[in-house]
Structure 1
Amino acid sequence: MKIIRKVAVKQIVTDKTKAQLKEEYEWKVFKLEQECQQLLFEQKKLEQRSSKNKADIALKFQKEMSNRKDHIKWYKYKLEQLEILPIGSEISDGEVEAMVEIEEGMNWNELVDQKTIVIKDGIITKIT
């Protein structure tokens, strides 16, 4: 029988991964800031066209912009943390699902132990 289980993925920090993560975080901040600008534009346009209550329109748009601004703060925090992160340390990079073959007589405790895939510069260096 086969089962699916989650496997943690960790990345070893190198200069290359730091640069990639920095670029990714900066790009996300840029896109979120663009979305905020677009929302502001759409809000003004809708307020001019609509006879609905402008306060209701503003409230809906403010909620969306607030959500994006929270994400911007999160990515800026991650950028700060990335700067102080030492080379060679491990960071979590999410999880993947793995299919595992199980049979009668197998040790369940060994099977459910947390498995990890370690990656360095895009190359799998260790599977535990």
Structure 2
Amino acid sequence: MQIIKKVQVKQIITEKSKEEIKANFLHHKMRLEQECQQLLFEQRKLKNKSGLSKQEIDQRFQREINNRKEKIKLAEFKMDQLDMLEIGSEIVEKEVEALVEVSEGSHWDEIMGNSAVVVKDNIVVRIEE
């Protein structure tokens, strides 16, 4: 029988990977800032239409804008943390699912133990089981 198990993907920080991660954070931050500008534009457009409560429009749009501003702050915090990371450090990048063979007599703790795939510049350098 096969089961699905979560496996961590860890990345070893190099100059190249650090720059790629930082570029991703900057791209995400810029997209959020553009969304804020678009929301402000849509808010002004809706205010000019009659029949809608201006206060309700303001509240709804402000909530969405604040949500995006919080995400911008989080991206900035992550960039600051990234700057502090030393070359050679390992970070957990994501989790993936893996198929694992289970049979009678298998040691459950060994099967379900923490596994990880360690990657350096998009090349697998080791598998921890």
TM score, norm. by length of structure 2? 0.97
Displacement, 1:51?
2.1
Percent identity, please. Answer: 48
Q: Which residue of 1 aligns with 2:49?
A: 49
Displacement, 1:84?
1.1
Are 1:60 and 2:54 matched, yes or no? no
C-alpha distance after superposition, 1:13-67 (max 9, x if no partner): 0000000001000000000000000000000000101321100001000010011
Q: Which residue of 1 aligns with 2:32?
A: 32
Q: Which residue of 1 aligns with 2:112?
A: 112
Structure 1 segments (4+ residues) deviating >2 Å: none
Q: Which residue of 2 aligns with 1:88?
A: 88
TM score, norm. by length of structure 1? 0.98
Number of equivalences:
128
Which blocks of at least 5 consecutive residues in structure 1 are unaligned? Answer: none
Which blocks of at least 5 consecutive residues in structure 2 are unaligned? Answer: none
For residues 77 and 63 of structure 1, what CA distance do their matches in structure 2 show?
21
SS at match of 2:105: coil
Amino acid at match of 1:91: I
For residues 12 and 50 of structure 1, what CA distance do their matches in structure 2 show?
56
Displacement, 1:109?
1.1
For residues 50 and 18 of structure 1, what CA distance do their matches in structure 2 show?
50
For residues 18 and 107 of structure 1, what CA distance do their matches in structure 2 show?
39
Q: What are the equivalent positions in structure 2 for 1:61-80 lying under 5 Å apart?
A: 61-80=61-80
Amino acid at match of 2:101: E
